[in-house]
Amino acid sequence: MKYAKTEFTRRLARHYDELKWLYLELYRDEGAFSYFTGMLERCWKDRKQALRNQDAKREADPDWYRRPDLLGMMLYVDAFAGNLRGVKEKLGYLQECGVNYLHLMPLLDTPRGRSDGGYAVSDFRAVRPDLGTMEDLEKLADACRRQGISLCLDFVMNHTSEDHEWAKKARSGEPGYRERYFFYDSWDIPREFEKSVPQVFPTTAPGSFTQLEDGQIVMTNFYPYQWDLNYANPAVFNDMTENLLFLANRGIDVIRLDAIPYIWKELGTDCRNLPQVHTLARLLRMVCEIVCPGVLLLGEVVMEPAKVAPYFGTPEKPECHMLYNVTTMATTWHTLATGDVSLLQRQMEAVCALPRDFLFLNYLRCHDDIGWGLDYPWLAQNSGAGEVAHKRYLNDWFTGKFPGSDARGELYNDDPRLGDARLCGTTASLCGLETAEYEGDPFKRERAAACDLTLHAWMLSQSGIPVIYSGDEVGRFNDYTYHDDPDKRDDSRYIHRGAFQWDLADGRKDPDTYQGRLFQGLRRLESIRGSEPCFDAQADVRVEDSGDSRVLALCRRMGDRELICLFNFSNQFVRAGADRPGRYTELMYGTRYDDIRRVELWPNGFAWLLRDTEHPEKEASQ
């Protein structure tokens, strides 16, 4: 026990001065800080030996999560396997998929019908009863750890449900709880806030405040049943940090900090990305390094790169371990609809210019909608596309309204006046596979499956951690049954949150089905990525000129190895490449090339071309 005590005090001592300085700068409360450090020690003492052993192992290998063989999958517990015990029973399937990073979508207790998909938490220490218990979650985490799978869970920081114990006590006037939220007796201050605070959901949940039945007014930036927490109150930060550590002590490896840019509010600002948010993020990073250094923080920052990058912090004072690459995701779908890679090339040049230590989580689809947060000033200057008109075009394309489009999606938060709707749908349906199957058209099926696979190859070609949305590995289609569910029909995001189609998974081993082609193709791509040094996070990555506006070219270099990745975003045969001498081998299909300046790419096709290093004398002569 003496050694263990020294372990905690050693970690605390390393961060103590900065921890105290930042905490007191924010709160100016010595008593609250004393409580805070005591709470950290209590949480550390509660951490079981298996987790401490993992902490020590990961401390000794700080780059463990940067390996190219890391592959993520996100899923809803009930949709995938009914409950937590069901997920535990399906770990064999996940391992067959190559998954070693599993993101479970929100599963903490929420009120039925007022949950916002699980993001209105009524108890941070209880699991939704229909999904199981906290003991079931811990047993699943234990099983994942034994099988080398890291478990990720959402931590909703910005707000609680109106049914949370704190909210109930605040509503009843119990001392100390009203101050945990933003309560007002009149609209004077709320109206001042709303002069500068943008609305999150102007169509479905307009405004940023809600008036309760008794006349009290409370801040609700997202939905009326989600009450914003007041992080200017040290009791909120202390108790929310303890809730985070409680989950870490159940065996959660990655904590997703939901909506972190919103957590600090200040009158006269837009209440987004304020400096105090970064102070809190830095404090949480130090908390993890002190109590549970094997745990990672994933920041959910759904903004452009310039606003995302600061959440990494600095090498000397890091904040989040990794962040979502949301802009690249949205730009990828824009590129598929337009067949022009110019904007995506510009986006990737910005990403490639960031420090290599910045680790992004890359994805094509997730539980949420696709918001068209593109670089519209650049689009207007270079293609003449106006923001409203271009958003309308993208939404028409992906809902199948535009002539020639086989995509099938639905709009979310549609505002015809502003043309600001977002898009929902699964990868397969947005690629046209649903339409091809409905029409029974084998030609369209082949093209759509190729498009789907190419988009996944593109995701896997980016530096960071690739994450597949559950069902995409077997081409899951949109689920329209949500229209008949009164708790879901007003939220079109449920179109891609439907039940896992296990009948599709049954065909994953048959290469003559599109399910088999997608599943086996993905496994082949993932296997190549996991073993090829050019996919290492420390590789040098840059965008190349492919010679064709329809084709994106990416060069990845690690030591003397060079990989050229080509992606045809058009539905036409294209000859394009990179101005490189030497011989190359295409890794997916084994084709050899003596010249890669004009490689023939199939419609919506791709190529991973590895330079042959066995004949350097020939390359040198050229």
3-class DSSP assignment, residue 72:
strand
Q: What's the rounded Cα separation, in Å, for the pair 444 and 437?
A: 8
Average pLDDT over residues 421-448: 96
Q: What's the rounded Cα separation, in Å, for the pair 95 and 147?
A: 8
pLDDT band at 307 (very low <50, low <70, confident <90, very high): confident
| pLDDT at res. 5 | 62
Contact 46, 441 (CB under 8 A): no
Contact 413, 201 (CB under 8 A): yes
Beta-sheet strands, E only, within 105-194: 108-109, 123-127, 150-156, 159-161, 183-184
What's 160-228's CATH class?
alpha beta
Residue 347 pLDDT greater than 90, yes or no: yes
pLDDT band at 3 (very low <50, low <70, confident <90, very high): very low
Q: What's the rounded Cα separation, in Å, for the pair 533 and 318?
A: 26
Comparing 78-92, 461-475, 608-622, which segment has the lowest mean pLDDT? 608-622
Token reading at 285? 């990073």
Beta-sheet strands, E only, within 470-605: 540-544, 551-558, 561-568, 574-576, 584-586, 592-593, 599-601
Q: Please count the other Cβ atoms lying within 10 Å of the Cβ belonging to residue 418.
A: 12
Contact 499, 493 (CB under 8 A): no
**Looking at the chain, which residues constitute the CATH 2.60.40.1180 domain(s)?**
537-621
pLDDT tens-digit series, residues 204-244: 889 999 999 999 999 999 999 999 999 999 999 999 999 99
pLDDT band at 622 (very low <50, low <70, confident <90, very high): very low
- Sign of the CA dihedral running 141, 145, 148, 151: positive
Instruction: Give which of 156, 167, 330 is closest to 243, Cα–Cα.
Output: 156
Q: What's the rounded Cα separation, in Å, for the pair 67 and 400?
A: 39
pLDDT tens-digit series, residues 185-202: 999 999 999 999 999 888
Contact 418, 410 (CB under 8 A): no
Determine the Cα angle at 61 with ends 58 and 64, to 5°: 80
Instruction: Give which of 570, 574, 597, 594 is closest to 582, Cα–Cα.
Output: 594
Q: Please count the other Cβ atoms lying within 10 Å of the Cβ belonging to residue 62.
A: 10
pLDDT band at 620 (very low <50, low <70, confident <90, very high): very low
Catalytic residue among 78, 228, 300, 472: 300
- Sign of the CA dihedral running 54, 56, 60, 65: positive
Please give the CATH topology (third level) of the domain spanning 537-621: Immunoglobulin-like (2.60.40)
Sequential DSSP letters for 375-425 = -HHHHHHHH---HHHHHHHHHHHHTT-STT-----EEES--TTTT--EEE-
Residue 306 pLDDT greater than 50, yes or no: yes
Catalytic residue among 78, 163, 258, 548: 258
pLDDT tens-digit series, residues 383-425: 888 898 999 999 999 999 999 999 999 999 887 766 778 999 9
Asked about 548 being catalytic, the answer comes back as no
Token reading at 292? 């549970």
Rg, the chain, Cα only: 25
Contact 603, 550 (CB under 8 A): no
Instruction: Give which of 347, 247, 227, 349 is closest to 288, Cα–Cα.
Output: 247
pLDDT band at 618 (very low <50, low <70, confident <90, very high): very low
pLDDT tens-digit series, residues 21-59: 999 999 999 999 999 999 999 999 999 999 999 999 999
Average pLDDT over residues 75-95: 97
| pLDDT at res. 308 | 87
Instruction: Give which of 295, 354, 257, 352 is closest to 62, Cα–Cα.
Output: 295
Q: What angle do helix axes 134-146 and 49-60 make, rounded to 10 degrees? A: 40
Q: What's the rounded Cα separation, in Å, for the pair 264 and 183?
A: 15
Q: What's the rounded Cα separation, in Å, for the pair 257 and 312?
A: 13
The structure's pTM equals 0.94
Contact 453, 475 (CB under 8 A): no
Residue 619 pLDDT greater than 70, yes or no: no
Residue 549 pLDDT greater than 80, yes or no: yes
Residue 478 DSSP label:
P
Asked about 512 being catalytic, the answer comes back as no
